[in-house]
Chain A
Amino acid sequence: MRGRLAASFAGIASSVRRFLARRKSSRARRRSGHRIEPYIDRLISDAIQFNETPSPTPGEKQRQAFIARRLAESGFSDLQDDGAGNLSLRFPATEASSKGILLFASVENEDYSPLDSLVRLSSERAIGRGMAGSSLGVAALLVLAEYLQASGTTFQRDLTLLFTCLKGAGVAGCALERFLDRRTEEWSAAFQLTGTSLGAVASDPMGTCRLAISVRTRDREVLAGGGADSAVSLLSGIAHQLGGIRWDAADNTFLNVARLEAGAGYGQFASEGRLELEIFARDTARLETSRDAVLATTRKIAEKTGASIRIDTAGVLPAGDAELRRPLVEALRRVHARLGIRSRQVSGPDPAALLNARGIPALSLGLTTGARGYLEEHVDLAPLEAGFQQVLLLLEAVA
């Protein structure tokens, strides 16, 4: 009996030590026993319904209406609309704190199609155009709000959930940039939630610049021979010349031909075409230098042929700031290890770098695995629970 009592006291003491250790490392208060599993079905359901909501619409009003209705149904009456393309919901801190935490997701889907964005569900996957992009991120924010409310979870820092748009980033200014411009509060950390890439850790993401080159060559008579170049030959010549350039010895900069659209028929004229380029660079200065080089080369080629040319910058994402991101990267790796998620280093562009450029530590988080492609886009269902838990654990670590 005495032995059993001693063992019991030892067990209790050990539990208390573990509990205190956890409380020390985690500043979040979460009611124990609140299960996550039921929220995963809601997350998939919201992602499906959101994915099937048309986009783009003027001001993304249809998608914003879905978000507002869902949050109102969940009992949130203080959703803020800044009139600049942003809806935000704030969970006040338990204690006065100077800096808040920002979780954001982009609501638009530039690839939306009324037919292809209708989602099909197998036992393992949700299949539909857009599911691997923004839809899961928005759904995760909606369900997170419900979960925090139902579980009574609170944080020492203000937490803001932001539904925003990234279209026009770095050029005309996207909704996210307008949100950051207008708000006066400081942010201690920010995370973008997105569909796939669970486990991907971008500790030092490249910057990117997307260029759209439209050309119109001189009128030509195809059968006459010796006429002007077609838009096809001009644009493929530009793509070939730019693609052959070695930008630097260490491969810190490279160029990708994203799209070439030209040719006669299907509403196109042989004299018109469009080329979309993506430039990637390890730092923002290199990105700007490379962009200037591409513009100059393109103009020079076009001038030789007498074609008229227009070059638009479709979007710019700065390179990430590795130093700013380091604490978040380390926290994310710890969370991955705890949840058994395999971490892998990636270096592609990250919209969260827009916040890095303003001195805010920020990362993007994938919620599951999957694939994005023209023929099929899908997300895997099984990893979603770990993906959602990852968000909760990161919040516990930083908020």
Chain B
Amino acid sequence: MSWKPAVLSNTFHHGRYGDPRRLLELKEARGATVSLAFPTLNEADTIGKEILVLKAELMERFPLVDEIAVIDSGSTDDTRTIAARFGARVFGSRDILKPYGTFRGKGENLWKSLFVLQGDIIVWIDADISNIGPKFVYGLLGPLLERPEIGYVKAFYERPLRSTSGLTPSGGGRVTEILVRPLFSLFYPELAGLVQPLSGEYAGRRRLLERLPFSVGYGVEVGHLIDIYHQHGIESLAQVDLDRRVHRNQPVEALSRMSFGILNTFLSRLERYGEAHLLRKLAAEHIALAARKGRYSVQPTAVPMNERPPMVEIPEYAARFPRPVPAAAASVGASAAPTPAAEAPPGT
């Protein structure tokens, strides 16, 4: 079989973008502005280093990034204090777009960040990376600055896990290999060409991101990929090898809840795009079992499964980022709200 996913043609190594002066020239030539944001919840151990290193390198030495912000879900540790101490703008997720309420979840923070960030290009980085370096940002920015047809870039890497016995050389991506890759292989073989579709580091153009609905919880990455695939085609996706990412390990119980949220988003997308039809409503709670003294009990957990509409459909956003109304707006999901859309999205 000679077929290979098209996204492999848009697969790069961060070293290709290791010359910051070249990227700076590209950024200036395109007249682009770049925002970097961290969604956080109790990340005091790692957030300070991430902000300091990226700010020193990519704002002060080479001004590739125009602003750094933290969107916090209500940390109870020193995350917010430390983030502010090292120069990030800190927002509480619940304080953004207050009339629309708040949900707990990473996707919620990402969606709300679109409202407070100013850049044309948005870079999102998880706040639990122990070995942060500038490549995490310039690797993601490179394809967007270099190739106008690319609208969304995902990171992939070798993922040694931090554990009590030190660093385990690999073993990350269990949910990807057991759940997401089989699903993509069945329904979207082109997306199976993504090495780590669930990686928490990605960047995109505002004009593409503002048209995407956002799952507030674990399904946000899968939802983005399927929506972008349908709206803009596989050619608008790229992936970048960042070599190595050290992060803390997640217990199997957490991965099970994560899979529940991802599967929910996946199934909702199948239905939305007419690729499968669900005959009954899905359950809202993840069910785990606990054993104590020979007895088993059920532990239901509500996993956030709400979905935010494309940000362009929020009037406050439209007022803040006014755009000319296009002849035909292309946005996923029905909406009665007017769509102050921008120029044609990339890849179309």
Binding site for B on A (CB under 8 A): 38, 41-42, 44-46, 48-49, 52, 73-74, 114-115, 118-123
Contacts and interface: CB of A to CB of B under 8 A. Distances in A.
Nearest to B56: A45
Contact of A41 (B21, B52, B81, B246): B52
A120 B55 contact: no
Contact of A42 (B46, B49, B60, B85): B60
A118 B78 contact: no
A44 B52 contact: yes
B162 A42 contact: no
B81 A120 contact: no
Interface of B: 20-21, 44-46, 48-49, 52-53, 55-57, 60-62, 78, 81-82, 85-87, 130-131, 133, 162, 166-167, 246
16 contacts: A41-B56, A42-B56, A44-B56, A45-B53, A45-B55, A73-B20, A73-B61, A73-B62, A114-B167, A115-B167, A118-B246, A120-B49, A122-B44, A122-B78, A123-B48, A123-B85
B133 A49 contact: yes
A123 B80 CA distance: 11
Nearest to A128: B49
Contacts of B20: 73
B169 to A, nearest CB: 10
A106 to B, nearest CB: 23
A96 B206 CA distance: 57
Contact of A121 (B57, B60, B82): B82
Contact of A115 (B81, B86, B162): B162
Nearest to B133: A49
Nearest to B57: A45
Contacts of A42: 56, 60-61
Contact of B49 (A46, A48, A74): A48
A120 to B, nearest CB: 6
A41 B55 contact: yes
B166 A52 contact: no
Given A45-B55, A114-B166, 13 more contacts: A38-B60, A41-B86, A45-B52, A73-B21, A73-B62, A118-B246, A119-B49, A120-B45, A121-B48, A121-B82, A121-B86, A123-B48, A123-B85
Contacts of A41: 52, 55-56, 60, 86-87
A115 B162 CA distance: 8
Contacts of B56: 41-42, 44-46
Nearest to B20: A73
Given A49-B133, A52-B131, A115-B166, A121 B55 contact: no
A118 B60 contact: no
A45 B162 CA distance: 22
A149 to B, nearest CB: 12
A122 B82 contact: yes
Nearest to B166: A115
Contacts of B52: 41, 44-45, 48, 121
Nearest to A52: B131
A119 B57 CA distance: 17
A48 B44 CA distance: 17
A274 to B, nearest CB: 23
A115 B160 CA distance: 11
A118 B133 CA distance: 12
A123 B82 contact: yes
Contact of B48 (A38, A46, A74, A122): A122
A111 to B, nearest CB: 15
Nearest to B81: A123
Nearest to B44: A122
Contacts of B86: 41, 121
- The 10 A-B residue pairs with the shortest CB-CB distance in the complex, in nearest-first order: A121-B48, A45-B56, A121-B49, A41-B56, A123-B85, A118-B130, A45-B53, A42-B56, A115-B166, A114-B167
Contacts of A123: 48, 78, 81-82, 85
Contacts of B82: 121-123
A249 to B, nearest CB: 49
A52 B45 CA distance: 16
Contact of B46 (A44, A46, A52, A120): A120
A247 to B, nearest CB: 42
Contacts of B48: 120-123
A49 B53 contact: yes
A229 B188 CA distance: 71
Contacts of A45: 52-53, 55-57
Contacts of B167: 114-115
Contacts of A74: 61
Contacts of A52: 131
B62 to A, nearest CB: 8
A48 B133 CA distance: 10
Nearest to B62: A73
A42 to B, nearest CB: 5
B246 to A, nearest CB: 7
Nearest to B49: A121
Which of A38, A49, A121 counts the most chain B CB atoms within 10 A? Answer: A121
Nearest to B55: A41
A91 B57 CA distance: 24
B220 to A, nearest CB: 27
Nearest to A123: B85
Contacts of A38: 60
Nearest to B18: A69
A53 to B, nearest CB: 10
